[in-house]
Amino acid sequence: MDAYERISRNAEELVTEEEVRELAENPEGKRAYVGYEPSGVLHIGHMLTANKLIDLQDAGFEVVILLADVHAYLNDKGSFEEIRETAERMKEQFIAYGLDEENTEFRFGSEFQMDDDYVLDLHSLELETTLNRASRAMSEIQSGDSTKVSQAVYPLMQSLDIEYLDLDLAIGGMEQRKVHMLARDTLPSIGYESPTCLHTPLIAELSSGEGKMSSSKGVTISMEDSTEDIEEKVNGAFCPPTRDPDGDLENPVLQIFEYHVFPRFENVVVERPDKYGGNLEYDDYESLEEDLESGELHPADAKGALASYLDELIEPGREKLREAE
């Protein structure tokens, strides 16, 4: 797998493909980032972007994780003390999940977002951006039903973060797309370059296949779930044997196999009793999906395997948590 294939695999969108290909020509020393609000326990929806960071490290990128404490405060996610406590736990979990600690730089937003130059640039962006545009950019990620003034400033700060962290590539889920497009449109107006962006898919809510996985509603798989929790949640997951013909629903079991399991394991074994045909072994996601659709692989067997592989991925994070206690 060449650098471009590694960087772009499992990406929903590259903005732009040409820019990403140019980065892939000489990725050593390039800097990529994801920003996370320290607002709760990480779940596997968050960690899809972490998988992409692992890909980027393998390709030669330096990785920056912004623990966006100021953003979380502006989005009404708690006091700074509560947010910082959550952020420290997140750092441990990212490393436990598989990021290379030596090549991962953790930054708090409060380290630079209060500086005079940053604040003056923020005011310059405010002059370039209508309230409606800022509200639209924030609509996918805000807390509450109406946009507060603090939340309208939030996407402008995200735009500036890309410049102030000296980044070559901004990573985010598709819910971040409007923010990144705002950054590409507005940063040149104050003398900075438009950022190159990569967007990952969103994993559907586990029990229904609708919407996106979120810690605020529906069923999620937390990075602190026990083995029993994972088994119970996966066993209850929405997993139809065929695709939704209308395209309205996703299969979260298949999504997790595609975006979490296969990028981290060379092959996947689905254990079955001999009377049901014995074990099935897959070295690519497409074969597993085909077997599920054809009926060769029963959803219950797929779920059993998924729970086992997820448990293996999450165990190092649980171990870190136990050590901290």
Query: In order of start, what are the domains of the chain with their CATH numbers?
Result: 3-200 (3.40.50.620), 227-324 (1.10.240.10)
Mean pLDDT over 136-152 rounds to 80
Q: What is the pLDDT of residue 325?
A: 64
Task: Say yes or no to pLDDT of 60 above 80.
Answer: yes
268-306 confidence digits (pLDDT tens) = 999 999 998 999 999 999 999 999 999 999 999 999 999
Q: What is the pLDDT of residue 215?
A: 64
pTM for the whole structure = 0.92
DSSP strand pairing (104-108 vs 197-200): unpaired
What tokens were used for 71?
């953003």
Task: Say yes or no to pLDDT of 75 above 90.
Answer: no
Q: What is the pLDDT of residue 17?
A: 97
C-alpha–C-alpha distance, residues 232 and 148, integer Å: 38
DSSP strand pairing (13-15 vs 197-200): antiparallel
83-104 confidence digits (pLDDT tens) = 999 998 889 888 988 999 988 9
Mean pLDDT over 45-71 rounds to 94
What tokens were used for 239?
């997993």
Measure CA of the first residue to CA of the last residue in the chain; give whole Å: 41
Candidates 54, 80, 48, 51; CA nearest to 67 is 80
Of the pLDDT bands very low, low, confident and very high (cuts 50, 70, 90), residue 129 is very high
Residue 31 sits at φ, ψ, to 5 deg, of -120, 130
